[in-house]
Structure 1
Amino acid sequence: MIDQFPDLLTQISAAESERSAALCSRLADTFEDDLLEHDGFPDAHLNFFLALLSKKQYYDKPGVWNFILAVNNSRDALTSAQCERITTAFIDNFAAYQDKDLCFAVCDFVARNLESFKASDLLQQLKRLELQKAADLRGYADEGLYILGQEIKRAARNATN
């Protein structure tokens, strides 16, 4: 799949909005399946994912959020350095994200995949970045903080069982 990444990026950037969501969903499923074939999280896959999160011609496309779900399902394969690169991409680009599903997917990913104190700090940063957005694109960081609270409660329950 690695040799297909440039072509996949071209397909995503060229896709019309009406068909972008279906295309991204299909490609994200293939991406997720390919990740399962590797012991770790290959750098080429991470670079492809970071391009989707960091370049307007990709993150403005409906359906790109599906790739966050694909990475979420392979989160155990991520190294701490790779996770740091992802969170940096979120911080650098979140204010520009105009897709509600992408905004929610970012905050959900943070809440479920980072240590609670790191997740809380990052979600607070994202909340401040949301202030630069239109009113209908705000509140996703608060949803992430709610999810984080639920994750903390669940972990506490599991620790006592």
Structure 2
Amino acid sequence: MRGLHSGCFSGQVHQAKTPGAGQERALDFEFAYRRLVDAEPADAARVSEEVADAFSDSLLTAASISEQHIDFVCRLLANPLLTGRRGLFHLVTGLYLEREKLSAIQAQRLLACMAANFEHVADEDPAFAVGDFVARVAPPDRALALLREMTGKAGARDAVSGIFLGLDILLKRNKENAEFLAAVDAAVIAATKRAVELETGDDAPALRLVRQIERAFAHREKPDVLINRSIPVADDEDVLWFAGRDWREITLQDWNGHSDAFFRFAPDAFRYYLQSILCLAAKNPEENLLAADALVNCLDRTPNPEWWDQFLLDCLYGLRVDEYDAISSWIVMLSERKSYEEGSLTRAYRTIHLLRAEAEKDWLRRLKRS
């Protein structure tokens, strides 16, 4: 089994700085979360390490782990943008080291959060941390059930490595229970099958692209304003249908039934729901998605930005570099599927390349100022 070793928490761990006696280090959880979400990709590792330091300090100096600590970790686990960061690995490690401060209810809540959001985990480090935590903190039968649940949710080959690790720990810790070991062996077979599917299955490239899209756009929040009032359209019914809806709950049929919303969205609303269009097109190659057609047509522009229309500038100018990278990968996928005319996709790809170059220049300017 690839990736098995003695456990994340048995080797070198992240060391937090210990404050003086009697001092408790408070953590501004909302500020810490915003720092992680708003960090530019090139600066994300440093910010994650700093937040992990502060989180570990607050755990070390607290008499008991607060509900805010649990809320914070569950919030991070639910955000695909953050699950691949080194900081998450250190946060889970810190919780394990201070596990005796967890109440039984807190431990169960953490375990449920880890399993429920395992679909967001795409890298080995956080996968190892979660798999190890589940196997060591939960009772054996509960740990096995959670690892099975995580197997069904795994969306990346590296994530399955964390499941293998957890199962290996259960095997080593329950050698005398033949019935339980047989159940673990069956779970290993299921995890192996899932790993092969994610590595070689027909849907593997699409799943990897979906993970890239989700992580790139994860900082986008549900919009307060839906409608672009500067566009003179008589009927707002299609766009109002999206009010309050999470992008993940929208289906291909929903988009085709409310296609006029595409050009009616306010910029922030467009950028939030854009990830829905990208992911649905990636996962449904045989289906016609009118919003995907509209996006390709919108990007099929001359390479001279002076001739670009206002809609493109309002909605697609000013995204982050990793968001443009995700859209570029999406266009490449469409090209490989031969879903659209090649010249149209080439021009769309060039448009995203020009927009990305501007985003990179803007990031460098802000980096110099800071």
| Contact 1:12–1:61, Cα closer than 8 Å, also in 2 | no
Moved more, 30-39 or 75-84: 30-39
Give the distance between the partners of 1:79 and 1:67, measured in 2 at CA. 17
Q: Following superposition of structure 1 onto structure 2, how do residues 6-155 of structure 1 map, counting pairs within 5 Å? A: 6-130=30-154, 133-152=155-174
- Distance change >3 Å, CA 26–CA 152, structure 1 → 2: farther
Distance 1:49 1:136, change over 3 A: closer
AA aligned opposite 2:60: L
Displacement, 1:148?
Answer: 2.5
Secondary structure of 1:58's partner? coil
Identity of aligned residues (%): 27
Instruction: Give the CA deviation at 1:152.
Output: 4.1
Whether contact under 8 Å (1:116, 1:148) holds in the other structure is yes
Query: Which residue of structure 1 lines up, in the alignment, with residue 29 of structure 2?
Result: 5
How far apart are the structure 2 equivalents of 1:8 and 1:128? 31
Match of 1:157 in 2: none
SS at match of 2:117: helix
Cα distance change of structure 1 residues 79 and 122 upon mapping to structure 2, 3 Å threshold: same
Q: Which protein has the bigger helix share?
A: 1
- TM-score, with length taken from structure 2: 0.38
Distance in 2 (alpha carbons) for counterparts of 1:152 and 1:32: 31
- Between 1 and 2, higher relative CO (CA 8 Å, sep ≥ 6) is seen in 1
Larger Rg: 2
C-alpha change, 1:38 and 1:94, in structure 2 (3 Å) is same
Q: Which runs of 4+ in 1 moved over 4 A?
A: none
In structure 1, runs of 5+ residues without a counterpart are: 154-161
Give deviations 1:12-60, integer Å, cap 9, x for gaps: 1122334323332332232122112222211112111211112234324
C-alpha displacement of 1:6: 1.1
Residue type at the aligned position of 1:64: L
Q: Is the contact between residue 17 and residue 62 of structure 1 (CA under 8 Å) also seen in structure 2?
A: no
- Let me know the Cα RMSD of the aligned residues: 2.1
Instruction: Give the 3-state SS of the residue equivalent to 2:119 in structure 1.
Output: helix
User: Alpha-carbon deviation of 1:67?
Assistant: 0.7
Query: Relative to 1, partners in 2 of residues 1:115 and 1:8: Cα closer, same or farther, differing over 3 Å?
Result: same
Give the TM-score normalised by structure 1: 0.81
What displacement does 1:112 show? 1.4
Query: CA–CA distance in 2 between the matches of 1:140 and 1:60?
Result: 13
